[in-house]
Amino acid sequence: MGWVWKDDDDENSNKSEARWSTRKIISSQCRTEEVEPGKFIKKCQKTEQLLKDCVGRCFRV
């Protein structure tokens, strides 16, 4: 499994949203599967998450 952390502040920042931070987490899970006796293939599943953080505010439930 691999993780890639990317901070998107520079691409998505506006003056009205200067206190927001976004980040994208990309992960992948791979497995090897035997399709025929002696023949293996690698199958991977990629997952992307976009997270938005607000600096200086509390989250209330």
Confidence at 18, pLDDT banded by 50, 70, 90: low
> pTM score, two decimals?
0.44
Q: Is 23:8 a contact under the CB 8 Å cutoff? A: yes
Model pLDDT, residue 14: 47
CA 5, CA 24: separation in Å to the nearest integer?
A: 6
CA 56, CA 6: separation in Å to the nearest integer?
A: 21
Q: Where are the alpha helices (DSSP H) in 1-61?
A: 9-12
Percentage of the chain with pLDDT > 90?
A: 44
User: Where do the domains of the chain lie?
Assistant: 2-54
Token pair recorded at residue 46: 């990629």
Question: pLDDT at residue 49 above 90?
Answer: yes
Residue 47 Cα to chain centre, angstroms? 6
